[in-house]
Amino acid sequence: MVKAAVIFGSRSDAGVMKKAAEVFKEFGVEYGSFVLSAHRSPELLEETIAELEKDGTEVIVAGAGLAAHLPGVIASRTALPVIGVPIASGTLGGMDALLSMAQMPKPMPVAVVGVDNAANAAYLGVEILALKYPELRTKLEAFRAKMKAGLAGDSRIEL
């Protein structure tokens, strides 16, 4: 079984991050989920990243709001790919988190999806894993083919 981790900075992020877990479940990707803060529990975060690496985790989805340094800090602790989910919490509607993740200085990139789009982070995670696991690639292609078939037919619309 391939392994992913879903990490987020606060219990208040769980509702958004659940969408990533749903996608991993849909594709049969084994995942672990953790509430870990880069500023409230930095030591525990560091220990957990080391354990995840030992345990064979291959991709990490990390969500946070506000200054949202969590994905960047994780990226600094591991060479595994980190996909950030900027979460819309606070007065700036997630723009703060989006820029915090997208503006990571080299050489510690964080891949970033849209604000609150945790599902897309997991889809990207599945794509990364599918490079290595042919059965996952087959599932991904079947999923896409089914989606296209659902959209086929008459595309006309009355306006």
Q: Which stretches of the chain bind ligand RP5, using CB under 6 A?
A: 9-10, 12-13, 37, 64-66, 87, 89
Q: Which C-beta is closer to ligand RP5: that of 9 or that of 84? A: 9
Helix count and strand count (H, E) for the chain: 6, 5
Could you tell me the smallest distance in angstroms from the CB atom of residue 124 to ligand RP5?
20
Could you tell me the smallest distance in angstroms from the CB atom of residue 50 to ligand RP5?
21
Q: What's the CA gap between 127 and 132, in Å, rounded?
A: 9
> Could you say which DSSP state residue 104 is in?
P
Q: What's the CA gap between 121 and 56, in Å, rounded?
A: 19
Could you tell me the smallest distance in angstroms from the CB atom of residue 7 to ligand RP5?
10
Q: How far is CA 84 from the centre of its chain?
A: 6
Q: Which C-beta is closer to ligand RP5: that of 80 or that of 88? A: 88
Q: Which C-beta is closer to ligand RP5: that of 90 or that of 143? A: 90
